[in-house]
Every structure is written in structure tokens, then in C-alpha cells.
């Protein structure tokens, strides 16, 4: 893991960009008072679907808030084919198929499967390698939470025992295979649903909440569309992690 | 309003029993530091379906927590025919009908309507009279929230403009007429659902959440049965009121 930039933000948070092989990411760690080294911080992985982190202003705001107010180390990476990472010819082909099907009003579930299943297959080992590297830093101590995209999060929660709790955002396509895998998820969950999300089926999301194998799981649903999650859910999410990671 | 007992609890909260006409109730107000009089406290009405308050240990624990940790004045009353209040012959008859229908495995919706609709008709004006009396106390300043049983809460939110926000517990029967009235509720809502509530239909509860006319409404659903609401929802409820009453 190589740090490529570093700046101290006005809320005291240290923001560092890094690369790990071909994976670009950002790490936010809490500011600390002068004096003896603080205890290692628990870690939250923010698993956004894509987009270049610096333009994802809500993601950055959430990450800084979790670091500054709740004392978490927070990391985000660009998933394969997302953010600043190149898309493969296969990626471009599936995206072209998706645009065509949408314009023609044709069913898109199979195309989304062809987009998301390979993404999950590639992204999860990358998260695990990133986790190895992050947990080797002295300022990060675990335990570890995951917050973000559901499809990647399901697989990560199933295969990665170091993830102790997860917050999933229901506003994204979850392939059938991953929905079935949800029964194997047993860690505490906070499942965040936008009640009027234009692009996502509410009943599928409720069925998915029902399917998770976790004994402790909470659904938070708010009125409004895909991008309308109220800011107070950021605090609720941090308090959820406080209950399970601290 | 006449106070009939008063004790200072070990969390500093002042617990007073009162009667207002035939309505028996309890008022919890926050302890205060010595010195100038504190600002009047905002008020939360706890609208439990029934049961004598002193035996409702969870209700009392919630009320004391809201007063001690969040600075609310909290009031509970026994609804007509509940707690220490006598049941009318009509009440007894409907309850006998309900037991018989349950034992015979017959539909109970009409009987529950006959139980709950008159309860709402009687309880709501009593809450309004109680509110008049409570708001005349110098230590209570409003704004006012309601937390508890949905059926009474819907009507109260519709007819009583002094109620600024409400937390409803979905684990109780809501007559069809009240479910239709839900569209007229426009105040911010927190709607609390136990996902596996034995006695209540989950889909009806989700439909009711959908029906509320409020622009700001949040659903919290947790795994488990009717009485299994996790304690962290008490804090979530207080923070919800903090956003709207303070």
C-alpha cells in the first residue's frame, strides 16, 4: 500500500489517497490531540458502487463525519471499472447492452446480472487485500464494519470473517444469486431503504431484508427517492457501528 | 389536575401521580441542577394501550430515560377501561366476544373494531384535556410529541395541532377507519415495527406506513416478536423527538 497524497482537513481528519496494486483508494483517519499515540481506530469500509471518490461529495462527507465525530478510520476504494479505473471491453459491451435494453423498454435483469455478478467476483478479493493492508497500519485496529452497496456487501459478509457488522443501502440491483446468498449473512445488519426509490423494487428490498440470516437486523426506511436519504441516517449508521464495533 | 403522590427517583427524575377528573396518570420531569429555574421542558405523551402504569416496567423505564437523559417531561395516563380504571359492561361484553371468537378460531376484525374505535373516541379528548392541564404547569413548555399506540395516535395527530411529531408502535390493531384517517396525518413520524409480531399482519403495517400523509416519515423494523423491540430504539425515538421538538 502506497500513500500518494496526504492532507489534514479542517475537522482534524487526515485524508490520504493510496494505491494498492491497481486499486486506488482514500483513507480518512480521525485527528488526535497532541500527546501519547491514541488507541488504534476501528475501521469502516465504504463500499460505494462506483464513481470517482473526489466527486462523490456525499460519500466524502459521510466518511469525514464518521472519522471526525465518531473516531473511525474510514476507507473507500474505486471498484473495478469504476471511478478512475479503466473499463474492460466486456464492461463496455454490457453497459452498451444495458442502454439499448432500457431504450427499447426490454427487461434488464439478465443484463444487470451480467454487470454486477462479475463486479462482485472482482471487488470482494480486492476489499480483502485492502483490508489486509489497512489492518497492518498501526493507527487502525479493527473491528471492521462495511457500509454501502448491498451486492458486494453480501458476498463480503459471507466470505470475510473480519467484517463484524454491516450497513447496506437497498437502492441498488442485487442479482438473484446474491439474494439467495443473503441467507448466509449472519452479522448484525442495518438495512437502509428509500421508500420511493425510482429504480428499485420495494418488495424485492423487503424480501431481501427478510432473507438475511442475521439474528440482529434493523430496517430503516425513509420517504423519498434514490438519492434522498436524510442526513440523520448517517448518524444512525455510526451509532449502529458504535454498538457493534466499539 | 391534582397531584396525589410525588417521589424523587435516583436518576434525579421527579415522578408524580396525578388525577384529572377520572383520568389517572403519571408525570415524569427531569431533575435539575440547583440554581435558577430551568427552561420549561418539551413534553412527550406516552400512549400505551392500557395496563396499570406501575406494572408496565418498560413504559416506566422509557419514560424515566427520556426525562433523565434527554430532558423531556413525560406523561402517561390510563386509557378508559385500562389500567386502574373500571371497565364498562359494554367493554366486558366485547372482551368476552373477543375471547370466544379467538377460541373458536373465528375472524376477530369486527370485534376488535368494536373494542378499539370507541376506545379512540373516548381516549383522544382525554389526552387533549390532559394536555391542557400539563401545558399549564410552569415546568412544561411544549412542543409536544406523542409516542405509543397507533390507533389513538392517528386520531390525536389529526385533531390536535399541538402534537408536533409522533412515534407509533405498529404492534397493535388499527381499525379500518383509522387506517384511512392515516392519510390526514402530516406531522413527522417514526413508525416502529416488530418484523415477526405474532399478532399483527406485517403487510398491513407496511401499507399503513405507506398511507401516512407525512412528508417526513421513517420506518424502523427489527427482527423479533411483539415484545422484542430492542432498547436502542428508545434512544432512536428520543433523538427523533430531539430533531422535531427542540
pLDDT at B36: 64
Residue range B46-63: mean pLDDT, rounded:
78
pLDDT at B35: 63
pLDDT band with cut points at 50, 70 and 90 for residue B230: very high
Structurally, chain A folds into a number of domains equal to 1
Q: Which residue of B has its CA nearest to A196?
A: B210
CA distances (Å), origin B231, targets A76, A150, B59, B146, B222: 32, 26, 12, 18, 11
pLDDT at B117: 94
Identify which of A214, A216, A220 has the shortest CB distance to residue B218. A220
pLDDT at B5: 96
pLDDT at B199: 81
pLDDT band with cut points at 50, 70 and 90 for residue A53: low
pLDDT at A82: 85
pLDDT at B51: 58
Q: Which residues of A touch B235 (CB under 8 A)?
A: 239
Q: Does A14 touch chain B (CB under 8 A)?
A: no
Residue B189 CA to residue A123 CA, distance in Å, equals 38
**A216/B206 touch (CB, cutoff 8 Å), yes or no:** no
**What percent of chain B shows pLDDT beyond 90?**
80
CATH number at residue B34: 3.40.50.1820
β-sheet bridge partners, residue B76: B26, B46
pLDDT band with cut points at 50, 70 and 90 for residue A52: low
Is the pLDDT at B4 greater than 80, yes or no? yes
A190 within 8 A of A237, measured Cβ to Cβ:
yes
Is the pLDDT at B37 greater than 90, yes or no? no
pLDDT at A33: 59
Range of the domain at B74: 2-245
Q: Which residues of B touch A215 (CB under 8 A)?
A: 223
Among residues B52, B70, B58, B91, the alpha carbon closest in space to that of B12 is found at: B70
pLDDT at A26: 95
Cα-based angle B233, A180, B220 (whole degrees, multiple of 5):
15
Report how far Cα B32 is from the mean position of its chain's Cα atoms: 25
Task: Give the distance from residue B61's alpha carbon to the nearest chain A alpha carbon, in angstroms.
Answer: 20
Is the pLDDT at B34 greater than 80, yes or no? no
Interface ipTM:
0.89
Residue A191 CA to residue A181 CA, distance in Å, equals 16
CA distances (Å), origin B186, targets A91, B124, B213: 46, 18, 5
Is the pLDDT at A54 greater than 80, yes or no? no
Is the pLDDT at A75 greater than 90, yes or no? yes
The answer to whether the peptide bond before residue A143 is cis (omega within 30 degrees of 0) is yes
Rounded to the nearest 5 percent, the helix, strand and coil shares of chain A are 40, 25, 35
Identify which of A206, A210, A218 has the shortest CB distance to residue B222. A218
CA torsion angle A76 A81 A84 A85 (round to 10): 100
Among residues B59, B236, B166, B182, the alpha carbon closest in space to that of A218 is found at: B236
The string of pLDDT tens digits covering residues A105-128 is 999 999 999 999 999 999 999 999
Three-state secondary-structure class, residue B210: helix
Q: Worst-scoring range by mean pLDDT, A26-40, A106-120, B74-88, B199-213?
A: A26-40
Residue range B170-189: mean pLDDT, rounded:
95
If one compares B9 and A91, the residue with the highest pLDDT of the two is B9
pLDDT at A18: 96
Q: Worst-scoring range by mean pLDDT, B1-5, B81-85, B121-125?
A: B81-85
The string of pLDDT tens digits covering residues B208-226 is 999 999 999 999 999 999 9
**Mean of all residue pLDDT scores within chain A:** 92
Identify which of A219, A223, A230 has the shortest CB distance to residue B221. A219
Residues of chain A numbered 181-220 and touching chain B (CB < 8 Å):
195, 206, 209-210, 214-220
Identify which of B221, B235, B239 has the shortest CB distance to residue A218. B221
Q: Which residue of B has its CA nearest to A213?
A: B223
**What percent of chain B shows pLDDT beyond 70?**
95
The string of pLDDT tens digits covering residues A169-182 is 998 899 999 999 99
- Within a 10 A sphere around the Cβ of B89, how many other Cβ atoms? 7
Cα-based angle A18, A21, A27 (whole degrees, multiple of 5):
20
Residue range B157-170: mean pLDDT, rounded:
97
pLDDT at A93: 92
Residue range A194-208: mean pLDDT, rounded:
93
Is the pLDDT at A55 greater than 80, yes or no? no
Burial B172-205 (b: 16+ CB within 10 A, else e): bbbbeebbebbeebebbbbbbbbbebeebebeeb
Amino acid at each position: 500500500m502506497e500513500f500518494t497524497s496526504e492532507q489534514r482537513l479542517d475537522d482534524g481528519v487526515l485524508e490520504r489517497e493510496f494505491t494498492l496494486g491497481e486499486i486506488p483508494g482514500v483513507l480518512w483517519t480521525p485527528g488526535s490531540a497532541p500527546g501519547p499515540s491514541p488507541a488504534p481506530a476501528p475501521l469502516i469500509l465504504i463500499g460505494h458502487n462506483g464513481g470517482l471518490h473526489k466527486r462523490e461529495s456525499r460519500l466524502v462527507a459521510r466518511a469525514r463525519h464518521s472519522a471526525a465525530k465518531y473516531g473511525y478510520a474510514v476507507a473507500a476504494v474505486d471498484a473495478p471499472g469504476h471511478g478512475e479505473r479503466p473499463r474492460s471491453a466486456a464492461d463496455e459491451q454490457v453497459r452498451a447492452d444495458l442502454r439499448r435494453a432500457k431504450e427499447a423498454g426490454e427487461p434488464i435483469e439478465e443484463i444487470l446480472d451480467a454487470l454486477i455478478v462479475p463486479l462482485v467476483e472482482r471487488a470482494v478479493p480486492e476489499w480483502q487485500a485492502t483490508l489486509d493492508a489497512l489492518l497492518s497500519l498501526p493507527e487502525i485496529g479493527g473491528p471492521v464494519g462495511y457500509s454501502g452497496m448491498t451486492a458486494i456487501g453480501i458476498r463480503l459478509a459471507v466470505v470475510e470473517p473480519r467484517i463484524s457488522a454491516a450497513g447496506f443501502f437497498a437502492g441498488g440491483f442485487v442479482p438473484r444469486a446474491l439474494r439467495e446468498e443473503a441467507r448466509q449473512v449472519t452479522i448484525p445488519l442495518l438495512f437502509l431503504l428509500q421508500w420511493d426509490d425510482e429504480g428499485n423494487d420495494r418488495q424485492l428490498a423487503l424480501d431481501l431484508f427478510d432473507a438475511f440470516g442475521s439474528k440482529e437486523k434493523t430496517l430503516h426506511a425513509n420517504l423519498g427517492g434514490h438519492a434522498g436519504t436524510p442526513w440523520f441516517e448517517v448518524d444512525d449508521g455510526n451509532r449502529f457501528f458504535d454498538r457493534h464495533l466499539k
